[in-house]
Structure 1
Amino acid sequence: MLIVKLNAIDSTNSYLRKLSAEETVDDYTTVIAKKQTQGRGQMGTVWSSQASKNLTFSVFKDVSQLHLEHPFYISIITSLALLKTLQFFSISRLSVKWPNDILSEDKKICGILIENVIKQNKINASVIGIGLNVNQTKFENLPKASSLKMISGKIFDLDEIVHVILKNLKYYFLLLKKGQYDVLKEDYEAYLFRKNKPSTFKDKEGTVFSGFIEGISESGNLQVLLEDDIIKEFDLKAITLLY
């Protein structure tokens, strides 16, 4: 397993995607940057991080042999691997805000960006980008952001965290390879932020409405119980959870 460490790069996801397009990349090849100049989040958002204090890295995963019908399971696996890692480091009150923001004590500590490589109309590989707030303690104009140090009071070794994350990614991908879809989905849903609690949402037209998060569909859509006792599914771009 190759680990590439860079001082600065525009985006570890972009670097790894370009590398995989130019040459054969080994499974679980990992690119870590001390600083990202153009770190990206979900739906074009920017991921900002202080250099050398946090983890910004991407992992190449060959999924050509998994015959994935529902790509969202890659997101489930990544979320579970991170949750398991954070539990190992005694981080408390963990949850996953759909689709894959990791929260501790209702504050965001980790974001995930998964970009799939398509060949012959099927997913051949995934580039899994992870931004984890570790030793940073100030987040300008980000009141809902936190870090492992802010939560625990401890300073963490970045390399140690990466190795535990990779170990847990391998564990959950093995479950996927064995076809343990129900187990993975149930584990993910057990951590869903605000599950079965009254919550407020905003759709892409700007309309605000209330409902209860019930779970997710096989394809990863959020299932919300609305006021008229109807369960409706929403995809990633359709709604935002307000909290």
Structure 2
Amino acid sequence: MYKILAKTLFLGKEVIYMPSCHSTNDIALQMLKKPDNREGLIVITDHQTQGRGQRGNNWKSDSGSNLTLSIILKPSFLLASDQFYLNIITSLAVRRMIEFYVNEQGAKVKWPNDVLLNEKKIAGILIENTLQRSSIQWSVVGMGININQQGVGLEKATSLFEVTKSMNSLPELFEKLIESLEYYYLKLKSGKKEELKEEYLQHLFGFQKFRKYRTEYLFNGKIIDVEETGRLVMETAKGVQSFDFKEVEFLY
């Protein structure tokens, strides 16, 4: 079903398809233990039974309806302190793929690891890194993207089908997604961090707009930056504050 990609340089030259599995990230991490593993390998499944997400949320995903995959990267050029750039390029790649099929500007990246369409979640990202000294040795980039899901089951979630009202070709979307990821990955590898961050902020949900958030208390905040380490920088009534992952929650 999912063919080796012809238009990429190194991503998707080896594709492991599994009709069902517990977690594509776990399988990809196991692949890293093999001596002959290589960058660009993709594990993809029709049905993931134990996928991991943020905040313990359940994510309804009908078998054969969506894109659920993990990609092995070897970003040894990237310092561990800069690992958030992998979140940046992955979310930009997913957003670009979605926008290619939706004739509107409603696709946004959401800090730290989601993609939204019309302010509803359409994709989640989970990146797991192994470090070697101060650099990243290997990365497993996991993605779950709602494509042909009918009835997502969450009020603040959606799918490409629910927006376009038409069924979409998963192999075609898969190819577009991997091509987009390779495009951004090569940009990162060539050192274009400022350009990538600028594009990320341009498409960042809540950037330069006051919204409701929750940490240990409720507050109004405006995102003004994202630090190199991935910390969210916000303007609040208490002044400029920075938040790490899971320290702050978007409300509306």
Say whether the fold is shared (TM-score over 0.5). Answer: yes
Mapped to 2, the partners of 1:98 and 1:120 lie a distance apart of: 27
Structure 2 residue 202 is matched with structure 1 residue 193: no
Counterpart secondary structure, 1:82? helix
Unaligned ranges ≥5, structure 2: 1-12
Structure 2 residue 230 is matched with structure 1 residue 242: no
1:22 deviates by 2.8
Mapped to 1, the partners of 2:166 and 2:225 lie a distance apart of: 34
TM-score, structure 1 normalization: 0.93
Q: Percent identity?
A: 36
Partner of 2:232: 222
- 1:104-154 CA distance string (max 9 Å, x none): 1111100000011223453111100000000011123x1111100110112
1:68 deviates by 5.3
Q: Answer yes or no: is the 8 Å Cα contact 1:195–1:213 preserved in 2.
A: yes
Counterpart secondary structure, 1:35? strand
Alignment length (residue pairs):
239
1:83 deviates by 1.3
Mapped to 1, the partners of 2:59 and 2:17 lie a distance apart of: 19
**Counterpart of 1:238 in structure 2: which amino acid?**
E
Consecutive aligned runs of 4 or more in structure 1 exceeding 6 Å deviation: none
Output aligned runs, 1:29-178, within 5 Å. Answer: 29-67=41-79, 69-90=81-102, 92=104, 93-140=106-153, 142-178=154-190
TM-score, structure 2 normalization: 0.90
1:91 deviates by 5.3
Moved more, 20-29 or 152-161: 20-29
1:66 deviates by 3.7
**Counterpart of 1:231 in structure 2: which amino acid?**
V
Mapped to 1, the partners of 2:164 and 2:29 lie a distance apart of: 34
Q: Answer yes or no: is the 8 Å Cα contact 2:78–2:136 preserved in 1.
A: no
Mapped to 2, the partners of 1:18 and 1:91 lie a distance apart of: 39
**Counterpart of 1:35 in structure 2: which amino acid?**
H
Counterpart secondary structure, 1:218? coil
- 1:170-218 CA distance string (max 9 Å, x none): 1111111111111000100111112222211111x3x111111112111
Partner of 2:218: 208
Mapped to 1, the partners of 2:103 and 2:247 lie a distance apart of: 31
Mapped to 1, the partners of 2:212 and 2:71 lie a distance apart of: 34
Mapped to 2, the partners of 1:171 and 1:217 lie a distance apart of: 23
